[in-house]
Homo-oligomer: A and B are copies of this chain.
Amino acid sequence: MSFAFTVEHREAHSRARVGLLSTPHGTVRTPAFMPVGTQAAVKTLSPHELREVGAEIVLSNTYHLYLRPGAAVVAAAGGLHRFMAWDGPILTDSGGFQVFSLAGLRHVDDDGVRFRSHLDGSEHRFTPELSMEVQRALGADIIMCFDECLEYPADRQRAERSLQRTTAWARRCHALWRSWGDGRQALFGIVQGGVYPDLRREAARALVEMDFPGYAVGGLSVGEPPEVTVQVLEATVPCLPEDRPRYLMGVGSPDLILEAVWRGIDMMDCVLPTRLARHGTVYTSEGKLTVRNAAFARDFRPLDPACDCYACRHFTRAYIRHLLKVNESLGMRLTTIHNLRYLFRFMERLREAVAADRLPAFREEFYRGEGAALGFRPPGGGRQEAPRA
């Protein structure tokens, strides 16, 4: 099989680890951040720019590709890698999150979800099997189980019933995936269970019993406070096997990445850094900067003097502000390049800290300096780290 996950080092003071995730399209250093290429492109970027900023794996959205251009077109192109000219690893989500976000446009039963396209109102139906077949046609290296995404907040009864459905669907996804038997794609199970630690543990145990190549923690980053995210991770991760990658879905702010890595997470994805960038806000070593603001009209410094990205090597805040104000797409491209580069350098520093057993110092420095400048505080108000299991 062309998949392998190797934990190379476990940090001495936390659950954090560095590792290598091998896929048929190359190896990813973990902990890894995955930028989101919703429609077979990370907005504003070429695949070569994506590589240049440091991306090693890209996420793409099954729901969007199913609607446009359609899985058959991508399959005819030879799969998503060739379609979008990205030869590195790709992960596709199951479409579940998007379908369940279509408030009022959907109907769920135990077999699947009926929904209306957000584009033209046309009616469609996703089942676990259809999601799997679409993901198979797209051909990503890593594919995800079709799950029910619980709304936040949800009461316990609702969370229990939803989890039953998600577990049953995971079983169907797993069975279909096993039947393919070609080892081209690795299927990840998704732990749901809302904010209830015991449900999370139950969910994890059920999935681990099925034996997936990797496990995701889903249903977070849906409006809950960071303390809850952290609690759920602390309940869930110890139930997951040490030798499989763990993927926290939908998290992409540096503080939560740090907290998640601390608690044993290996992969995350989020639209946040790229969306912020398109709205004109960039991360820098000195804090967040809303470069659209008039204050930067005559600021001829780079976005971040400490940054090595294409935008910072060649362009000024004043020019990028101008581009954003006059709607020249180069502006959003430059801020996107910068924010992703910031985040990939952050991941590099994180991996170095983990490898050198100095994550507590890294964390402390982060919340004192750069993290504080970015407006981040430790979740739970500086509470100490979870003890290592």
Contact = CB atoms under 8 A, between A and B. Distances in A.
Interface of A: 39-41, 43-48, 64, 68-69, 73, 76-78, 83-85, 297-298, 300, 310, 314-316, 318-319, 321-323, 325-326, 328-330, 332-333
Nearest to A330: B41
What is the count of identical protomers in the complex?
A: 2
A323 B316 CA distance: 29
A83 to B, nearest CB: 6
Contact of A69 (B73, B76, B318): B318
B73 A297 contact: yes
Nearest to A47: B314
A300 B77 CA distance: 7
Contacts of A314: 47-48, 85
B68 A298 contact: no
B41 A83 contact: no
Contact of A329 (B40, B43, B297): B43
A321 to B, nearest CB: 8
A73 B322 contact: yes
Given A84-B319, A322-B40, A76 B329 contact: no
Contacts of A316: 77, 83
Given A41-B330, A69-B321, A73-B322, 4 more contacts: A41-B328, A43-B328, A68-B322, A77-B300
A329 B77 contact: no
